[in-house]
Amino acid sequence: MSDGIGQSLKKVGSRFAFEYFLEIWKPRLIEMQRKWLASVTVEDLKKMVKRGKFPDSDGFDFNAVREYYEHLEKISTERLFEEYIAPARPDLAQAIQEMEMPGAQWLVKLRQHLLDQVKGAAKAVKQDLVQATCDNCQKSWPVPRSEFDKIDACPFCGHKQGEEVKPDEEVSAPVDEDES
């Protein structure tokens, strides 16, 4: 019986520590959100919502929060929006609200997308992974060490192993203007 109480106290303490961390680091977390969303315009956001896409999260180090996954799961979509996205980018928050139900549904999916990224970081740590980097677009991704030699193309830009690097070519997929 004491094991159950001890485990419960440990969980409460862990949750308290996590909430304390969120409060202490809130200004920094909001600034991280601001930087993450800096290149996203209101028009970009509307296209993302329409297409079910999300801002690029390559710059985030999800490994830093992977051990808090259980607690991150408890952060509601509303809290994510009100405490982090809205203060970071009020213009985007307003646009999301103006989109009404599609905007709300997109936020729910964004929250899950971010949680999936954290969960993926936690799983990646359990495997023997190495970082692969494309010579063409310079994007990186984790690869099991045993699969590294089998990489034949970049999953981001499609550049194939052994092809000439194209320095001036736009390598990220631009949003089609005529699809809006």
Residues 113, 138: one domain? no
Residues 162, 119: one domain? no
Residues 91, 159: one domain? no
**Could you report the per-residue pLDDT of 118-134, keeping only the tens digit for each?**
888 766 666 667 888 88
Residues 53, 101: one domain? yes
pLDDT of residue 69: 83
Mean pLDDT value across residues 157-174: 66
Residues 116, 69: one domain? yes
In a domain, residue 177? The reply is no
d(CA 65, CA 119): 10
Structure tokens at 51: 């297409």
Residues 26, 86: one domain? yes
In a domain, residue 62? The reply is yes
Residues 136, 120: one domain? no
Mean pLDDT value across residues 104-110: 97
| Number of structural domains found in the chain | 2
Q: Grade residue 148 by pLDDT with cuts at 50, 70 and 90.
A: confident
pLDDT of residue 180: 43
d(CA 159, CA 11): 46
Indicate the pTM of the whole model: 0.63
Residues 96, 164: one domain? no
pLDDT tops 50 at residue 177 = no
Residues near 36 by beta carbon (within 8 Å), at least 6 away in sequence: 55, 57, 59, 60, 88
pLDDT of residue 59: 67
**Could you report the per-residue pLDDT of 26-36, keeping only the tens digit for each?**
898 899 889 98
Residues paired with 131 in a beta bridge: 142
Residues 103, 154: one domain? no
pLDDT tops 50 at residue 41 = yes
In a domain, residue 105? The reply is yes
Q: Grade residue 38 by pLDDT with cuts at 50, 70 and 90.
A: very high
Residues 93, 109: one domain? yes
pLDDT of residue 167: 58
Residues 29, 43: one domain? yes
Q: What are the distances in angstroms from CA 19 to CA 4, 15, 77, 111, 150? A: 22, 6, 16, 18, 43
Residues 39, 109: one domain? yes
* Length in residues, the chain: 180
Its domain, for residue 149, covers 129-172
Share of the chain above pLDDT 90, in %: 35
